[in-house]
Amino acid sequence: MNTENKDASLQEKLALRAKYWSGEATRRSNALDLEPGVFTWNDPKKIALSLKRSAEESSRRKAPPLQSAMSMLNFYINRAGRNLAPRRRKILEQAKIELRKLYGKI
């Protein structure tokens, strides 16, 4: 393999790694200690309560609890993108409303 091909191959690998930074963030993030499977639950209020509890108990967050909890929920929704089933998206969007209610923002 000549050096041109090596360089191109290395650049492709680096580009792929950069493209999927969000997967790494999902696996390694320690911003909040979430309950296992919280985003797979079917009860939006239960999801919101769990996120609220995690955000308020976290000593590592840098933003207010509502902002931290909402960020985690939005990150999950955006990360799933088109692969998120309409029913699941509806549940998670409802969880955002429930989260706002819990913090008295609605």
Convert the pLDDT of each residue in 56-88 to its tens digit.
Answer: 998 888 889 999 999 999 999 998 888 899 999
- Output the pTM of the full model: 0.73
Query: Residue ranges of the domains in the chain?
Result: 1-30, 31-106
Residue 93 has pLDDT above 90, yes or no: yes
SS3 content of the chain, % helix, strand, coil (to 5): 75, 0, 25
Residue 40 has pLDDT above 60, yes or no: yes
